[in-house]
Structure 1
Amino acid sequence: MITMEAASVNIETLFKTYGNVRDGEEPWKKYGRVNDWNVDLIPKLLMSNGELTNILVSTDVTRYLEFRQIAGSYVQQGEGPKATVAKVPSDAGEALRSSLMGLFEKRRAKKFLEWVGEFKEDDPSTHLGLNLASVTMKDVY
């Protein structure tokens, strides 16, 4: 067994650890030099819009970092051969189709995602009567 001592691995270690490679096989060689590939085992997500984003752009960190939109967020349920991967819902339709929640949770998630989609910070009629300066997320849910 290979032990991980870092938050990222090269492509050979990735294949040996997670790739079901048989003895004698070296599938990573078709991708070029081993150290040209570095896979972050703990991807960093920056979910922001505002001052932090403005600071990062103005300091030109794009020379060192790569920014991308993500297609979705996924979670694993269970372990071993029975493990499944499910998409975390990001809109009302996905909430209703999700295997992550029961019927009542799906309805609440759908309503919440619809509210978020229609929310406008400068339009109090979309705030559902909530004082957004003092309300907690528990109150929102």
Structure 2
Amino acid sequence: MNRRPTRTTTLLLTVAALGAVTLTGCASGSSTAAATSAPPVTTSSAPAPSASTPSQTPTATETPTPTPTEEGQLVEITVAGGKVTGPKGRVKVKAGSTVILRVTSDVADEIHLHGYDKHADVEKGGTADLKFKATVTGVFEVELEEKGLQLVQLQVQ
């Protein structure tokens, strides 16, 4: 027996198809519909974090900030064996403030603050300060020039 779908069945199939299309649209990055959709399913061979495995994702409250001193905002960085230690990511500094970049390095190189075109030489095994007035807003890279090693990014705001 060949049965034709009823209007109700056709309507239900249409609604289900529209729902599927809407949910597919949510997965493509729509921020308004994403709040009502289910979380995306991911596949990974890595184990899920447990209570004994701390999360590696930094939180918004972990934004590095310089240490205030009498001379200005101090950002301390150490370079040893090609590795940079100190604040990670972007360091926010206040526009109009004095900033001191204090770099200790196991190699001789030039510290270069891009955008401000400020330089300071650091001796092998030494420490150098690059002091400047943060008058230009934006994001600026600080690097060991000859090594091409990024030390930090400063966000002047």
Q: When the two structures are superposed, what TM-score results if normalisation uses the length of structure 1?
A: 0.23
**Structure having the larger proportion of residues in helix:** 1
The answer to which structure, 1 or 2, has the higher relative contact order (CA under 8 A, 6+ apart) is 2
**Structure having the larger proportion of residues in strand:** 2
